[in-house]
Amino acid sequence: MRKTVFLTGATGNMGWAGFQELYARKERFDIRILARDSRKNRSKLAPYLSDPAVTVVWGDLTRYEDVLEGVNGSDYVLHVGGMVSPAADYYPEKTLKVNVSAAENVVRAVLAQPHKDDMRVVYIGSVAQYGDRNPPHHWGDADEPQTPAEFDMYALSKIRSEEIFASAGLRRWVSLRQSGILYPGILSVVNPTAFHVPMGGVLEWATIEDSGRLLAQVCEDWVPDSFWNKAYNISSGEQYRMTNYEFMNRMLGALGLPSPEKVFEPQWFALKNFHGMWYLDSDKLDEILHFRSYVPVDEYFASMKSRLPWFYSLAFLAPAWAVKMFMKPFAFEKGMGTQWWVENDPEKFEAYYGSREAYDAIRSWDDIRPAPLAKTVERK
């Protein structure tokens, strides 16, 4: 029997990967998506508009009528959409309003359905909900307290949104908390938030392919009832556990660029107040939904580079000094740059560095380069 899946955020990174996975299974699924009516989205979705398996609701998550049109008659609701970084960093108050109102609209629309008790509702949360988890407190699971980092309105919006789903009385709901997503475009993303990330912090990444497959797998009939009404952490597994320093090395290396020590000043990087965690329950979700492809991490970084436009293959020609000159303005950007905070925003400076003494103590990369961490831990 065919099922109808309503997907929000389908033109974003994770949502698009999920849409592609669902589309590959269109013999079993009718796919209904909500997308903002823009030239970019119409161009992206144009190849699918004539397919009877795909219905596009042109609208906005903050408009209940648009969300209701998408939810009506659906068997599955995958709520992936909302504001994310970097837009969320530049417009924090708007992010809180948009993400929370979107969650309210989705839940309200589900509760309005006569078959609501037969529906499955999936909310995509975030690792940001756990807040600052720098070593030695970098291990945790889905039961960890949710304490967002200071000034992180995105994390607060995700916590509040998850609470809306969890407290609504839905018969079958789940929160899948997404980590950092690896996708080819991440190699070309440059903005001041790169320096908000402490080099000693950690993250357990998820590939875009695994993330998309997850969204399709959760819609299959074989998913057990015991799966629902819980929260899980998304990741691509143990080998995708990296310190932020390791990640930066891999990212620069994939582009053929020099090491972080040669292209960044150590003081540009914050010392704390950024989310990230390695998961004690890392494999729990995959044991149920079988979504991981287990591509070796170094092979995956190489594949990301191969999928970028050809001119990125010339990045290795850039000398270290030129890369540093290119990156420096982002560290000093008004309002968002860590170095702008030093003299202009004492509250953020203290939140991300701790104190002037701690900042002044950063004299070389030896002061922020983390020691290797064990990637596994024995649970007691």
What is this structure's pTM? 0.96
| 189 inside domain | no
Between CA 62 and CA 374 the distance in angstroms is 44
| CATH label of the domain that carries residue 32 | 3.40.50.720
From first to last of its 380 residues, the chain has per-residue pLDDT tens of 899 999 999 999 999 999 999 999 999 999 999 999 999 999 999 999 999 999 999 999 999 999 999 999 999 999 999 999 889 999 999 999 999 999 999 999 999 999 999 999 999 999 999 999 989 999 999 999 999 999 999 999 999 999 999 999 999 999 999 999 999 999 888 899 999 999 999 999 999 999 999 999 999 999 999 999 999 999 999 999 999 999 999 999 999 999 999 999 999 999 999 999 999 999 999 999 999 999 999 999 999 999 999 888 899 999 999 999 999 999 999 999 999 999 999 999 999 999 999 999 999 999 999 999 999 986 55
Q: Report the C-alpha gap between 256 and 366 in whole angstroms.
A: 23
- Among 265, 245, 37, 235, smallest CA distance to 134 is for 245
Task: Please report whether residue 19 resides in a domain.
Answer: yes
| Residue linked to tokens 């504001």 | 83
Is the four-CA dihedral 212, 215, 218, 219 of positive or negative sign? negative
308 part of a folded domain:
no
Question: Helices in 167-238 by DSSP H: which ranges?
Answer: 208-217
- For residue 340, the SS3 value is helix
Number of domains in the chain: 1
The two tokens of residue 166 are 């969890």
Is 105 within a domain?
yes
Beta carbons within 8 Å of 281's beta carbon, 6+ residues apart = 141, 142, 232, 233
Q: Domain limits at 16?
A: 3-180+204-238
CA dihedral in degrees (188, 192, 197, 203; nearest 10)?
A: -30
- Examine residue 350 and state whether it is found in any structural domain, yes or no: no
Q: Do the domain assignments include residue 297?
A: no
The tokens describing 361, both together, are 């103590």
SS percent in the chain: helix, strand, coil, step 5: 45, 15, 40
Residue 187 lies in a domain: no
In a domain, 296, yes or no: no
Question: Can you read off the two tokens belonging to residue 296?
Answer: 């070796």
